[in-house]
Structure 1
Amino acid sequence: MSAELMQGAVTSRDGTEIGYYKTGQGPAVVVMHGSMESATSHTLFAQELADEFTVYLPDRRGRGLSGPQKPDHGVRTEVEDLDAVLTAAGAERAFGISAGGAVVLEAARTLSSLKQIALYEPAIAADGAPHREWLARFDEEIARGDIAGAMVTSMFGFEMAPAFLKVMPRGLLRRATEKMMAKEERQAAPGSITMRQLAPTIHAEGTIVAELAGTFDAFGTVDADVLLLGGTKGLRGIGPGRDNLEKVLPNVRRIEYDGYDHGAASDPGGVNPTGKPEVVRRIAADVKAFFKQS
């Protein structure tokens, strides 16, 4: 990243430290990353905004610069963490991806500080039940150190598995996942946050998705201007949610990108293994133009 990243931290309501990176100049924008990501998963996106906005990249709890998740971790906790960053930054704008997008949307419903929000495939599902059923198995696998198995469980739980993987033996998927994580660890730069390190945070993501599922009508009170983004190859389980949100949000503009998947807004690598910088730049350009409208 060509723009310099500075570190900072705030204290959330329950005393947990929330760390962030900051870059750029101008009005503040807070970027809330998605599942299996950390603050540095959106450095390219931040770079595209940095000439006109000061971009804050917080680590959500359990990652990098921030404190640990707690047993009662849920949407309210995440909104309080975001609120602490918004307040310190004096920010009226936020961009959220996946579960981070769901948090930003809930924050816009419950906080008065947000005036503009952009969301890439916010994880608001129609039905929360399927997103709770797999959590017990996931927790058992994490507890016994079977990270690869837990990753496979979450992949199916979040309906992220392509059709061809559904017919593969689970043991084969588990071994392939273990090899993938081992390869990532061998190639990771010093200080990188790996999939193995991020895996335990998935429980909270499942809880957030289940907690907010089916709550579309509640967002009819959101006063903020909303840019609702998604891709035609995004997650099936939350795709219909954008249709519902478009109907209920009072001030919304929607863009659907042909051929983009759920990780398209993230830096290439990690959850966006086939990503291209030009794709991130296109999404960032649309978000930047939206934030400049005020």
Structure 2
Amino acid sequence: MDHAVSRDGTIIGYRQVGAGPGLVLLAGGMQSSRNFTQLGELLADRFTLHLPDRRGRGLSGPPGPDYGSDTEVDDLSAVLAQTGARDVFALSSGAIATLWTALRRPQALDRIALYEPPVLVGTRSSLDFVPRYERELAAGNLPAAMVTVMKGTGDRRDWFTDLPRLLLTPMMGMALRGDGEEAAAIRELVPTVHYDLQLVAATAGQIQRFGAIRMPVLLMGGDNSNPYLSKALDALQHELPQAERVELKGIGHMASDNVGKPRLVASELRRFFASPPRV
């Protein structure tokens, strides 16, 4: 296992594949580094990919009592320093962590590509589901908590998450009771959403601060994603002086995941990271 050591001493493990310039692939909520296996393979002929497990996941240590955006910045900065990589692609809450790193440690990065960071904009909250999730998590009801997250963050026109809870919760219960690695991984990941939601909530009222990020930024999204994610991209595009926007057709929030359309995402990343960074 390759690893970096964060500022507080926590181990941040990462997987490495490929050869070429360094590129970090940072996963989002309900994901570990393994969710980007296919994306890494698609880019491995062009880049050396570093796929960290964020805190509470897989190869890395626990979130710790002082978890917050500074923790994520320290963790990503440690991986960048250890690997020598200066470019990052990140999804969802991982993209929020990358935004904060670009703002607070701009010297560590050249370019960032972000897929639908769920920054909070406007007056309507996208976190209405959080109290229910927290209650279910506290009660140890992981299947119900997982369903709540899926329904709260799912794509529009998603037939699966549109199913009633009466059907979805037993289905998730069966999946979580399995003995295989996948079931164990999901059981580990459901509680980590608590920390992802902290990261999202902390962006309230902060959108204008990201305007100080001067490096090139690729903002990516899918036209089937939840509408609040498109609004977040609109706001970031308005604030970021070197932002480029790409909308992928027919896909949603999990495009870069193994179960999504990673080939489409990989194509955009090849293009964006192929040229030397602008000064």
TM-score normalized by the length of structure 1: 0.85
CA RMSD of aligned residues (A): 2.5
- Contact between 2:176 and 2:187, CA under 8 Å: does it hold in 1? no
Moved more, 173-182 or 255-264: 173-182
- Contact between 2:110 and 2:215, CA under 8 Å: does it hold in 1? yes
C-alpha deviation, 1:175, in angstroms: 5.0
Match among 7, 13, 18 for residue 7 of structure 2: 13
Counterpart in the other structure of 2:203: 212
Counterpart in the other structure of 1:98: 92
C-alpha deviation, 1:24, in angstroms: 0.9
Q: C-alpha distance in 2, partners of 1:267/1:166? A: 18
Counterpart in the other structure of 1:281: 263
Alignment pair present for 1:149 and 2:149: no
- Contact between 1:125 and 1:213, CA under 8 Å: does it hold in 2? yes
Counterpart in the other structure of 1:88: 82
C-alpha deviation, 1:178, in angstroms: 3.4
Match among 110, 115, 118 for residue 120 of structure 1: 115
* AA in 1 matched with 2:233: R
Matches within 5 A, 1:1-294: 7-111=1-105, 112-127=107-122, 130=125, 134-158=129-153, 173=165, 176-183=168-175, 186=178, 188=180, 190=181, 193-268=184-259, 275=260, 279-294=261-276
C-alpha deviation, 1:104, in angstroms: 0.9
Counterpart in the other structure of 1:271: none
- Contact between 2:116 and 2:253, CA under 8 Å: does it hold in 1? yes
- Contact between 1:99 and 1:208, CA under 8 Å: does it hold in 2? yes
* AA in 2 matched with 1:263: M
- Contact between 1:231 and 1:257, CA under 8 Å: does it hold in 2? yes
C-alpha deviation, 1:23, in angstroms: 0.7
Deviation per residue, 1:25-76 (Å, 9 max, x gap): 1211111101111001001111121112110000001110001112332211
- Contact between 2:154 and 2:161, CA under 8 Å: does it hold in 1? no
Deviation per residue, 1:118-149 (Å, 9 max, x gap): 01111212158835665444333222211122
C-alpha deviation, 1:186, in angstroms: 3.8
- 1:96–1:26: structure 2 CA closer, same or farther, 3 Å change rule? same
- Contact between 2:155 and 2:224, CA under 8 Å: does it hold in 1? no
Unaligned runs of 5+ residues in structure 2 are: none
- Contact between 1:32 and 1:101, CA under 8 Å: does it hold in 2? yes
Q: C-alpha distance in 1, partners of 2:71/2:275? A: 30
- 1:29–1:138: structure 2 CA closer, same or farther, 3 Å change rule? same
Q: C-alpha distance in 1, partners of 2:117/2:127? A: 18
Q: C-alpha distance in 2, partners of 1:155/1:192? A: 16
Unaligned runs of 5+ residues in structure 1 are: 1-6, 269-274
- 1:201–1:178: structure 2 CA closer, same or farther, 3 Å change rule? farther
- Give the total of aligned pairs: 275
Moved more, 58-67 or 124-133: 124-133
- Contact between 2:223 and 2:252, CA under 8 Å: does it hold in 1? yes
- 1:266–1:193: structure 2 CA closer, same or farther, 3 Å change rule? farther
Counterpart in the other structure of 1:4: none
C-alpha deviation, 1:227, in angstroms: 0.8
- 1:163–1:119: structure 2 CA closer, same or farther, 3 Å change rule? closer
Counterpart in the other structure of 1:3: none
SS at match of 1:130: coil
Q: C-alpha distance in 2, partners of 1:253/1:177? A: 39
Q: C-alpha distance in 1, partners of 2:250/2:162? A: 24
